[in-house]
Chains A and B, each alone.
Chain A
Amino acid sequence: AQKVTQAQTEISVVEKEDVTLDCVYETRDTTYYLFWYKQPPSGELVFLIRRNSFDEQNEISGRYSWNFQKSTSSFNFTITASQVVDSAVYFCALYFGNEKLTFGTGTRLTIIP
């Protein structure tokens, strides 16, 4: 079965703290892609990153970084020096060649000023 688990339902941190959002996935496929999307209060899902199963290099983009570990089937997302504008619901998603994304239930992140 293909599944994405985001065990953290809600996280609150004080501004400027670092925060890590966890994502664990299940798939039998050897070729798959993992995504992170951000959903601010406006509702639109904003694409953040895509990673394929053959590329385990970690990636950094400004204050955002992603840690992909196939051994633990995890694709975690860290925000460094969080800002109030980072407050949103974040979704991890899995794509395994059937043309659709399977999403986790999301993590609501609140940054307290």
Chain B
Amino acid sequence: DTGVSQDPRHKITKRGQNVTFRCDPISEHNRLYWYRQTLGQGPEFLTYFQNEAQLEKSRLLSDRFSAERPKGSFSTLEIQRTEQGDSAMYLCASSLSSGSTDTQYFGPGTRLTVL
């Protein structure tokens, strides 16, 4: 069973450019999460999907951010007009909902640097 994968692993971009990240969850996991982690901090929740439905978005997710999970499998996170403050590690996690709670398994992350 392969784990969560993310692409790219690293992205360097100039301020004002758009970037898109991809996450492939563990197969058959119906929930997919995006978190952001800045240096010296724990991950902070951005948004999550159950199948293709985006069920919650954090206040951290400004209108420059958009996430999709079109067929309930992989997901993309796009940041438009990047700012230096967007520099962070973007982590994706997936889980299989079991009615009580479920364990989230994380991918290796995409490290974004905005120059």
Q: What residues make up the interface of A, taking CB atoms closer than 8 Å to B?
A: 4, 33, 35, 37, 42-47, 50, 52, 91, 93, 95, 97-106
* B48 lies within 8 A of A105 (CB): no
- Given the interface pairs A47-B105, A50-B103, the reply to whether A99 lies near B111 with Cβ below 8 Å is no
Q: 6 closest pairs, A vs B, by CB? A: A103-B42, A45-B106, A100-B45, A44-B108, A43-B109, A33-B101
The answer to the question of B33 belonging to the interface, with a C-beta cut-off of 8 Å to chain A, is yes
* A101 lies within 8 A of B45 (CB): yes
Please tell me which one of the listed residues A33, A45, A101, A105 contacts residue B40 in the complex, with CB atoms under 8 A apart.
Answer: A105
Please tell me which one of the listed residues A52, A99, A101 contacts residue B43 in the complex, with CB atoms under 8 A apart.
Answer: A101
A100 CA / B109 CA spacing, docked (Å): 17
The answer to the question of B79 belonging to the interface, with a C-beta cut-off of 8 Å to chain A, is no
Q: What residues make up the interface of B, taking CB atoms closer than 8 Å to A?
A: 31, 33, 35, 40-45, 48, 55-56, 58, 89, 91, 93, 100-101, 103-109, 111
Please tell me which one of the listed residues A35, A42, A44, A103 contacts residue B44 in the complex, with CB atoms under 8 A apart.
Answer: A103
With A93-B42, A99-B56, A106-B41 known, 6 other A-B pairs at CB within 8 A are: A33-B101, A43-B109, A44-B108, A100-B33, A101-B35, A102-B45
Give B91's nearest chain A residue, CB to CB.
Answer: A45
6 A-B residue contacts at CB 8 Å? A4-B42, A43-B108, A45-B106, A95-B101, A98-B56, A103-B44
Give A91's nearest chain B residue, CB to CB.
Answer: B42
Question: Min CB distance, A81 to chain B, in Å?
Answer: 27
Residues of chain B within 8 A (CB-CB) of A52 are 100-101
Give B50's nearest chain A residue, CB to CB.
Answer: A99
Question: Min CB distance, A34 to chain B, in Å?
Answer: 11
Residues of chain A within 8 A (CB-CB) of B44 are 103
